[in-house]
Structures are given as structure tokens and as C-alpha cells.
Structure 1
């Protein structure tokens, strides 16, 4: 986050949205976001810049609500990619802008679940409620440009929208000229999506080729530690609710 003149600030969500954020890799969590937002103090305008493959639904919802409740006018700019929960966050803005060569991906929320039949049914019910909440967020932004039936079709198909398509559905207010920003790439997240455009898949491959062995080892270690921490916390929470 950067302060600008005239009581305005630029906020950048450039990376995965996760509870276990490593800022050096551009990752964002609701905790780090709130801390930085509070430090901005009294501002009238927020320019929100997004280039993110998505991530944690609840972390993203928390960020959405922080911005929605903020008194500042919010202008959201999708620089290259707003996928999954990162496509929900800009829906809080007063105006949403997309560069001509940027993309927005929408899909139903998903989760991992384990346990007995009752627990699995509850997990399915919970994730359906989360999806319905996100669905309403899109509809509120789109107005009469997008019906609930059409939105369901887009979500079911994991749809990657161009800027012009997002504009036609009312999910952005203005299409800006193309820029040179590269889409934020998360190989682990993209591997779980079904319809990733080939251009982004090539970008993942090129990114991996450009990494040194030490960088690859460090990323693998960070990912392993994050997964282990998440599994440990899930074990604790699971014990609390049983």
C-alpha cells in the first residue's frame, strides 16, 4: 500500500490470497491487509490494483468486507488477472476498470473435506452457501446485465472472461487500453482449475524455467510448511467441533 497526494492511496493485491502469506512472494492475507489499511489513516480515495490467481475464500471475503465498510471511494483496477475469490474483491468498488488484455475468472467455491457421511454433507452445504454469497455479490454489481441463470452457467463452466466480456455482463464499468502487466501465476492454484487459458499455462512453464534451483527449493519448502500448518490447525479445529 502506498500513500499518494490528496488523501488517496494505492493498494496492490499482487499474488495469492492466503492465510499463510509470504509478502516477499506477493501473497496477501486479511491480517496483513488490515494492518496496512489501518496504517494508511484518513484517506478519501483508494485505488485498488489487482493481479491475483485467487486463493482462500474466507481471507478474500474478509478483505472484501474491510473495503466495503471503508469510507473512501474505491476504484478497482484489474491489471492482468482477477481469478476466483480475487474476482469477488473488486465487486466492492465504486468503479471497476479492466485493461483490455486482462482477464476475470469466475467459478463456484470449492473445498477439501474428510470425515463421515454427516460431516461430508455439512461440508457440501457450507460450500454451497459460500457460493451463493459470492453469486449475490456478482449480481449486485451487474444489475440487469446479468441474470442469475446466466451467472450460474458461467460459474458452472469455470469461465475465464475477457475484459470486454466482463464489461458486457456488468462486472466491470470501463475497459482501459492494454498494458504490459504479466498475469500473476500460481502453479499450485492453477493446477486445481479446469479451463486455464493456454497463454497462462505457458507463462507458468516459462516462470518455472526462469527459477534457480535454490528458488525452487525455497518455494517448495514454503509450500510444504504452509500445508503442514494448515493440516495441523484443521486437526485442532476438527477436534473442537466433534
Structure 2
């Protein structure tokens, strides 16, 4: 069981306790720190939609430390990132693998970051299917469609041709932060948090 820290926020004479993720959300920070599941995706999608309703012109900051996970859950997050009007800055801390790497690359161009010791990994979707021969054929067709969809997303966000994406994702392709920058998955390798914008 994961222990979630609580913080105390003081406003005037009032004190309010909130979990750390709720406090980060106040600063427009969304954290993807586990494998990507339907439950996580629903939470992240809700946070993104909420932040857009709060201020559609302010950036959302998505921090990623994930080994990947469900492709369909990841695509729900991806589509919402593209759907909202806010710019979405993405940051890799630790690792962004599989769907985690796709979400990292999906940030607004020029606002995709990784810390120096981050590891990024892309590959084709993985699946294990049981059932009748017909069921396996149905799932194989869907699996192929998902693979093509992920390839198109990587093409869009890296600028590489299909042939290169297919070759590079045929097996696990690990990259350092600098290599991910050269590849086009991120725009900057940073050691320190960006300076906050001046207060109006």
C-alpha cells in the first residue's frame, strides 16, 4: 500500500489538510507515477478537464515516471491532452517507457522535458491473448490496429518516417535523456525547474 503524504495549507487563520497530489493540482501539476491503468487514466483525464475549465490559457504540467501499461488507457490520456486548449508541458522523471514515452512526446512542442538521468523507452505494444482461434485472430487484428495507431502518433510528434519508427519500435529501444532529445521525443534536458513567469 502506497503512503500518500498530506500537507497543511494555511490561509489567514485557517488551516486545511490535503493530500500532496491535490496540492500539486492547485499549481496545475498532474503526476503520472505508476503503470497506466483505466483507473489512472480516468483520474488524469478528469484533472486535465478540470484544469482547462479553471484557465484554458494557462499551461498544464504533466510529470511522468511510468513503465507504461494499458494502450487504450494511455490513448484516453493522449487524446485528452490533444483535446484541451491549454498547452501541456511534459516532464520525464525517472522513466517514461512504452505508453509513458508516448505521453511524454505528446506534450506541446517546445515544452517537452526530461531530467538528466531519465530513461525513455519505445517499443511496439505487447499483448497476451487466450481463447479460440477465431478470438485470437480478432484480437490480433485489433492489436495490429493499435500498433499502427501508436506508430502514427510517434510519427506526428517526432517527425520520423514510418520505416524508422517501425524499425526502432520492433524491439525495446532505450534512450538517455539526451538521446531522446536527439530522437525528437523531448525538446529539452533540464537539471532545474524552469523559472516561474513574473506575476502580473
- TM-score of Structure 1 vs Structure 2, range by shorter chain: 0.7 to 0.9
CA shift in 2, pair 1:114/1:70, >3 Å? same
- Give the structure 1 partner of residue 162 of structure 2: 148
Q: CA deviation at 1:88?
A: 1.0
Q: CA deviation at 1:171?
A: 1.2
Q: Secondary structure at the match of 1:133?
A: helix
- Give the structure 1 partner of residue 152 of structure 2: 136
Q: Of the candidates 118, 123, 126, which is equivalent to residue 107 of structure 1?
A: 123
Structure with the higher fraction of residues in helix conformation: 1
- Give the structure 1 partner of residue 25 of structure 2: 2
Q: CA deviation at 1:153?
A: 1.9
Measured in 2, the distance between the counterparts of 1:120 and 1:165 equals 37
1:85 aligns with 2:99: yes
Structure with the higher fraction of residues in strand conformation: 2
1:58 aligns with 2:72: yes
- TM-score in terms of structure 1 length: 0.64
Moved over 6 A (4+): none
Q: Which runs of 5+ in 2 are unaligned?
A: 1-23, 194-200
Q: CA RMSD in A?
A: 1.8
Give the conservation status (yes or no) of the 8 Å contact 2:96–2:119. Answer: yes
- Give the structure 2 partner of residue 35 of structure 1: 46
Which residues in structure 2 correspond to 1:142-221 (within 5 Å)?
Answer: 142-143=158-159, 146-177=160-191
Q: CA deviation at 1:178?
A: 8.2
- TM-score in terms of structure 2 length: 0.76
Measured in 2, the distance between the counterparts of 1:68 and 1:91 equals 12
Q: Which runs of 5+ in 1 are unaligned?
A: 22-28, 180-242
Q: Secondary structure at the match of 1:47?
A: strand
May I ask how many residue pairs the two structures share in their alignment? Answer: 165
